[in-house]
Amino acid sequence: MAFPIHRPRRLRRTETLRRMVRETTLQPSDFIYPLFVKEGRGERVPIASMPGVFNFSVDTAVEEAKTARDLGIPALILFGIPARKDAQGSEAYAQDGIVQRALRALKDVVPDMQLIADVCLCEYTDHGHCGVVAHGEVQNDATLPLLARMAVSCAQAGADIIAPSDMMDGRVGAIRSALRDAQLDTPILAYAAKYASGFYGPFREAAQSTPQFGDRRGYQMDPGNVREALKEVALDLEEGADMVMVKPALAYLDVIAKVKERVNVPVAAYNVSGEYAMVKAAARNGWVDGDRLILEILTSIKRAGADLILSYHALEAARLLDT
């Protein structure tokens, strides 16, 4: 048998060597940690489908934020769970809304962290849709001013970055111009390619945002489409977005890679609730090594092209990277 000249195994022999030639590495600064904030004090309510994830009251959210900061995580994304919901989602843009209060408290205690406000109405509407509803349909243009109001009120409360996740057409432009009118120059991280996905199930339990009728296929993207993702990304950048996101991450790694090839802005990917829940469920059953999967999954998302990864695993991943 001929001697194989090419032996890739030569560079796999020891951990030191493997570390030297590793193409993709994770750091805590890659992560954005999602936090769910609710009314109350001293609360830390577990979410059944997402072991390790909680609904926090503002005071305990601040404690969790300090832990994240101490682990080197640079940013949080906030989701509000209001005490009251109505058809217009008015708690989303109330001066003293739950997210606005959380932003002020966090800015005070962890001023060095980047606070990202998820801008969408679904957690705040009684029907659970991401926009206002008339004649049984989510109304695009009537929703835009409400999203813009929410964005401005979050920025005024201390949000460093605005992240619209609603998938209404023209929302980035509406938010950009409302911010400008309020003399704010806040960066926008657009959920540009957000798919209508079964992987959001556990989030909807956490945020109590399951649509009361129908589903989100009329505004979120069809899972079969990738060229359309590039179109959404291009539109959001034209309208004034500074960064773009692909969501979910794992079933859409090809989309992340294609977007990354096309744009010159940072690309984020959302390692969503269902992706998290699957790992936790399998690990609890002893079917997989959870810690190992977490790092492998996050590495794959970064390797696909994500510069930033939104993940419920952020704290545990930062701890694993430290050991």
Catalytic residues: 194, 247
Q: Given the rule CB under 6 A, which of 80-88, 94-102, 117-125, 135-143 is the region that contacts ligand PBG?
A: 117-125
Closest to ligand PBG by CB, 121 or 178: 121
How many whole angstroms separate alpha carbon 272 and alpha carbon 302? 15
Site map 266..285 versus ligand PBG, x via CB under 6 A: ------xx------------
- The residue range among 94-102, 116-124, 138-146, 280-288 that interacts with ligand PBG, by the rule CB under 6 A, is 116-124
Residue 107: strand, helix, or coil: helix
Q: Does 55 bind ligand PBG (CB under 6 A)?
A: no
Site for ligand PBG in 119-178 (CB under 6 A): 120, 122, 130, 165-166
CB of 230 to ligand PBG, least distance (A): 21
Residue 190 CB, nearest approach to ligand PBG (Å): 12
CB of 59 to ligand PBG, least distance (A): 24
Stretch of residues binding ligand PBG (CB under 6 A), selected from 19-27, 84-92, 118-126, 144-152: 118-126
Tokens of 149: 């109001």
Q: How many CB atoms lie within 10 A of CB 114?
A: 16
Closest approach, Cβ 257 to ligand PBG, in A, equals 21
Which tokens belong to 219?
Answer: 């505004």
Query: Which position's Cβ is nearest ligand PBG?
Result: 203
- Is residue 118 a contact residue for ligand PBG (CB under 6 A)? yes
Instruction: Write down the least CB distance from residue 287 to ligand PBG, Å.
Output: 22
Distance of alpha carbon 105 from alpha carbon 58, whole angstroms: 7
Closer to ligand PBG by Cβ: residue 25 or 210:
210
Does 28 sit behind a cis peptide bond, omega within 30 degrees of 0 on the bond before it? Answer: no
Query: Which amino acid does the sequence have at 183?
Result: Q
- Minimum CB separation from ligand PBG for residue 2, in Å? 52
User: Which of 55-63, 115-123, 150-158, 235-243 is the region at the interface with ligand PBG (rule: CB under 6 A)?
Assistant: 115-123
Strand partners, 109: none
Alpha helices in the chain (DSSP H): 15-21, 58-70, 98-109, 140-157, 171-181, 201-207, 227-238, 253-262, 273-284, 290-304, 314-322
DSSP secondary structure letters along 208-261: T---SSS-STTTSBPTT-SHHHHHHHHHHHHTT-SEEEEESSGGGHHHHHHHHH
Cβ atoms of residues 64 and 36 within 8 Å = no
Q: How far apart are CA 220 and CA 138, in angstroms?
A: 12
Nearest CA-CA partner of 267 in 277, 280, 252? 252
Q: Would you say 58 or 78 has its CB closer to ligand PBG? A: 78
- Is position 200 an interface residue for ligand PBG (rule: CB under 6 A)? yes
Cβ at position 182, least distance to ligand PBG in Å: 23
244: contact with ligand PBG by CB under 6 A: no
Cβ proximity of 265 and 203 under 8 Å: no
Lookup: tokens for 280: 């936790």
Residues of this chain, 24-53, that bind ligand PBG according to CB under 6 A: none
Using CB under 6 A, which of 203, 239, 280, 309 touches ligand PBG?
A: 203
DSSP single-letter state for residue 88: T
Tell whether residue 193 is a contact of ligand PBG (CB under 6 A).
no
Q: Summarize as ranges the residues that interact with ligand PBG (CB under 6 A).
A: 118, 120, 122, 130, 165-166, 200, 203-204, 216, 272-273
